[in-house]
Amino acid sequence: MRTVILFTLFKPATALKGVGPRMGKLMEKLFGVPASTSIGARLVDLCWHLPTGLIDRRFRPDVADAPDGAVATLTVTVDEHWPPANRRLPYKVICSDDTGSVSLIFFNAKEDYLHQILPLGSKRVVSGKIGRYGQKIQMAHPDHMVDPEKADEMPQVEATYPLTAGLTAKPMHKSVRGALALAPDLAEWQDAAWLAKQKWPAWREALYAVHEPESLAGLEPDDPARRRLAYDELLANQLALAMIRAASRKRSGRSIAGDGRLRDALVATLPYELTPGQTDVLDDIRGDMVAPLRMLRLLQGDVGSGKTIVALIAMLSAVETGAQAAFMVPTEILARQHLATLSALCRDLPVRISILTGRSKGRPRQALLDDLGDGQIDILIGTHALFTEDVIFKDLALTVIDEQHRFGVHQRLTLGDKGQAADILVMTATPIPRTLSLTVYGDMDISLLHGKPAGRKPIDTRAMALSRLDQVVAGVQRAINSGARAFWVCPLVEENEQLDLAAAEDRHGTLSRIFGAEQVGLVHGRMKAKEKDAAMAAFVAGETRVLVATTVIEVGVDVPEATIMAIEHAERFGLAQLHQLRGRVGRGGAQGHCLLLYAEPLGETAQARIAIMRDTEDGFRIAEEDLRLRGTGELLGTRQSGFPAFRLADPIAHQDLMEVARDDARLILDRDPQLENERGQALRALLYLFERDAAMKLLRSG
C-alpha cells in the first residue's frame, strides 16, 4: 500500500477549489495522463508541471514612460468607466498618474465586477503588458489589480507554465499553488553527506523553489533545486530497476552448458567466419548461461552487425542440454522472416523450429501447443502471442527478445517466468546512448556488438531535394531494369496513420504507372497480416522489384538482394529511424544506395540530421547525435518506446546524476535490501512518490 502521508498528493486535481471536471480534463490532456488512470490528472501531476518562463513585475515606470510590449506595474488613479456601445466592443477603464493616462481594456467584461474592483477615484496598482496605439497607452486584461496597501501580496516575479487550448495562465498558476500547499513534509531519503556536498535544499523546499524562480537561472536544468528533484526521480528509477534485477536474480537460475555439438556443426556450415565482435559477445553470453545465476543481458548491435546468428548459437546451447528456447519478435513479418532464416541455417541439424503468432488459431494452434508441452519443439519463434497463459513449454531454458524497446520490463520478466528461471537475452538494433541505456536497462548487463560481417560495403548515402523527384524515379527505373530491388519509404504525416496510408497508396499508384503494376508492391500498417506477408514474400522472391512501404519495414526485414532505399521527406524522420531504414539495404555483397529525399527549405535540425547520415554509418554515434538533436521523448520515433518519460530529470542535462543514481541504488540495496532502516523507509516513500509501485510489490513479496 502507498504510504498514508502521500495519499493527498494522489488525489484528483478536481479536489482543488476552482478545478471542475472540464478543467480536470484539460489538465489530463496537458500532462499526458494515460486513459487507464481512472482519476485523471492528480495533485502530484501539478507539482511535477514545471514552469518554462518568467514574468518580472518589478519594472515600475510612470505611465508616460511605459514602453510598448513590456510587462509593467503602474500605480494609477481610476478616472472613468466607459461601457461599450455593443457587446462586441471592449469595456474601457481610464486611469492616470501625473505623467499621462492609460486605458485598461476588458472584453466580455462584467460591469458590476469592474466597478467593485476598480471604483471611481480609487488608487490601484495594475500589472500587465503595455500596448501603444498611436499616442494612446493601453493594458488589455491586467494580470493584477490591487489596492496599493496590498501591493506587497502581488508576486514580484511570476512563473509561467506550458498550457493547452482552453486552459489559461491564471487558473493554472492557482492550481499549482493549491497542489504545492498540500505537498507533505517527507523524511529525507538522500544521503546526508551527498546532500551537503551538492548544497541542495530539502525536498519540499526544492519543490517550492522550482515553482518560484527568482530569475531566469532558476529555470535552467543546473539550478540546484531542479537538480535535486531530477536526482530524486533518477534515484527512484534506478532503485526500482535494481530491485527488479535483484528479485529476478534471487530466483536462482540454472547452469546451461551444452556439449557444443550443434553450435560447432552450425559454425562449420557458415559461408563466413564469425567477427571478433560476435565471438566476444558469445563469450559473455556463454559465461552467463553456464553460471548458476539467471542471465539478464542486453545485446546492443548496430544494423547488420550479425545479432541473429549470435542469438541462434545461444539458443543451440540450450537445445544441446535437452531444453527449449523461445525467440520473441515485435511483428509477424519479422517472426516469419526469422523462421525462414533459422530454418535455412539449421536445415542439416536435428533441431525442430516452429512459429506461433496471433494468427495461429484452432486445431493447428492446439497441436503446436501440445508439441511444445511434450518437448517436440526445440525453438519457438513468436510475437506477443508467446505471452498468453496457455503457451506452456516442457523446459524453457532461454528466452531471446528482439527489439526490446517494443516490450516493457514486466513483459520480459513474464516471458522469463515461463521456464524454470529461464535466462533472458534481449537484443536491439537501435543503438542507445549509455545514459539512456541506464534508464531503460538498468536491470541488465550490457554487451555491445561492434563491427559488421566481412564483405559488407559502406552504403552510398545521398541527399536530394524532392524537386528532383523525376531524376530519382528515372535512376531507380534504370537500376531495376538491371535487376536491382528497391524499397521506397513514404513519409510520416504528423503521426496520422490515415494520411500516412494515403501518401503510400498515392506513391504506389504513381510508381505502378511508371514501372508497371506487376513490378511494384505495397506494405503498410493497416493491411491484414496475410496481405502484408504476401507483399513481402513477392518482394523477397523478386516477383516485385519495388516495395512501397510506410515505416513497418523499419526493423529487421532482411532482403539481401535489395540495394536501393529511397526515403521521401527524410526531414520528418528521426536519425535513429533513418539509420534503421538505411540498414535494410546492402545486406548482400552488392553496393547499397540510400537516397534521402527532402522538401525545401530545410530547417537547421533537419540539415544537421542529413549531414550526419551522409557522414557516418556508426549507429552509436548516430544515436548520441539523435539524443542531442531531439531529446529523449522521441528518440525511437514514438512516445511508446519503453523509455521512461521523466517529468523532472533531463537525461541529457543530468547525465552525470544518472551514473551517481545507479551506483547509489546498488549501494542502498547492498546495505539494506529490504529498505527497512531509517533511510530505507524514506526511500519507500520516494518509490511511491514517483510511482515505482511494481518495485514495492517485489519488496512485499520478499
Q: What CATH number does the domain located at 460-616 have?
A: 3.40.50.300
Cβ atoms of 351 and 316 within 8 Å: the answer is yes
How sure is the predictor about 226, in pLDDT bands with cuts at 50, 70 and 90?
very high
| pLDDT (0 to 100) of residue 408 | 56
| Cell numbers linked to 46 | 501539478
The arrangement of strands across the sheet holding 520-523 comes to 460-465, 593-598, 562-567, 485-489, 546-549, 520-523
Alpha-carbon distance 206 to 191, whole Å?
Answer: 16
**498-504, long-range: CB < 8 A, 24+ apart:** 500/524, 500/525, 500/550, 501/525, 501/526, 501/550, 503/568, 504/548, 504/549, 504/550
Going from the C-alpha of 441 to that of each of 214, 444, 540, the distances in angstroms are 37, 5, 34
Residue 638 pLDDT exceeds 80: no
Cα 639 from chain centre: 4
**C-alpha closest to that of 52 among 156, 157, 172, 161:** 161
pTM of the model: 0.69
The residue type of 476 is V
Q: What are the residue ranges spanned by the domains of the chain?
A: 4-54+175-220, 58-154, 268-449, 460-616
User: How many other C-beta atoms are found inside a 10 Å radius of the C-beta of residue 549?
Assistant: 27
What mean pLDDT do residues 577-598 have?
87
**C-alpha closest to that of 295 among 156, 419, 406:** 419
- CATH of 58-154 given 2.40.50.100, 1.20.1270.360, 2.40.50.140, 3.40.50.720: 2.40.50.140
| Cell numbers linked to 384 | 506477443
What mean pLDDT do residues 300-306 have?
80
Residue 26 pLDDT exceeds 90: yes
**C-alpha closest to that of 344 among 530, 99, 575, 540:** 540
What mean pLDDT do residues 163-167 have?
91
Query: What would the pLDDT profile of 62-105 be if each residue is shown by its tens digit?
Result: 999 999 999 999 999 999 999 998 888 999 999 999 999 999 99
Annotate 456-524 with DSSP letters as a single string: PPPPEEEEEEGGGHHHHHHHHHHHHHTT-EEEEEPPP-TT-HHHHHHHHHHHHHHHHHHH-GGGEEEE-
Query: What would the pLDDT profile of 99-146 be if each residue is shown by its tens digit?
Result: 999 999 999 889 999 999 999 999 999 999 999 988 899 999 999 999
More confident position, 405 or 553: 553
What mean pLDDT do residues 185-204 have?
95
Residue 27 pLDDT exceeds 70: yes
Alpha-carbon distance 537 to 64, whole Å?
Answer: 77
Tell me whether residue 157 is exposed, middle or buried, using C-beta atoms within 10 angstroms of its C-beta: 0 to 12, 13 to 18, 19 or more: middle
**C-alpha closest to that of 677 among 666, 669, 687:** 669
Phi/psi of residue 557, nearest 5 degrees: -65, 130
User: How many other C-beta atoms are found inside a 10 Å radius of the C-beta of residue 107?
Assistant: 12
Query: What would the pLDDT profile of 532-574 be if each residue is shown by its tens digit?
Result: 878 888 998 899 999 998 876 654 567 888 999 999 999 888 8
Examine domains 58-154 and 268-449 and report if their fold is the same.
Answer: no
Is beta strand 157-160 parallel, antiparallel or unpaired with respect to 53-56? Answer: antiparallel
Residue 499 pLDDT exceeds 70: no
User: How many other C-beta atoms are found inside a 10 Å radius of the C-beta of residue 674?
Assistant: 12
How sure is the predictor about 498, in pLDDT bands with cuts at 50, 70 and 90?
low
What are the start-end ranges of the E strands in 540-639? 546-549, 562-567, 593-598
Alpha-carbon distance 60 to 47, whole Å?
Answer: 31
How sure is the predictor about 641, in pLDDT bands with cuts at 50, 70 and 90?
very low
| pLDDT (0 to 100) of residue 448 | 86
Alpha-carbon distance 255 to 3, whole Å?
Answer: 40
% the chain with pLDDT above 90: 55
User: How many other C-beta atoms are found inside a 10 Å radius of the C-beta of residue 378?
Assistant: 22
Is beta strand 460-465 parallel, antiparallel or unpaired with respect to 593-598? Answer: parallel
Q: DSSP state, 81?
A: E
Query: What would the pLDDT profile of 462-482 be if each residue is shown by its tens digit?
Result: 999 999 999 999 999 999 999
Q: CA-based angle 387:388:391, to the nearest 5? A: 95
| Cell numbers linked to 55 | 514574468
| Cell numbers linked to 189 | 531519503
Alpha-carbon distance 12 to 191, whole Å?
Answer: 32
Fold type of domain 268-449: Rossmann fold (3.40.50)
Angle subtended by helix axes 203-211 and 169-181, to nearest 10: 170
Q: Counting every residue, how long is the chain?
A: 702
| pLDDT (0 to 100) of residue 639 | 35
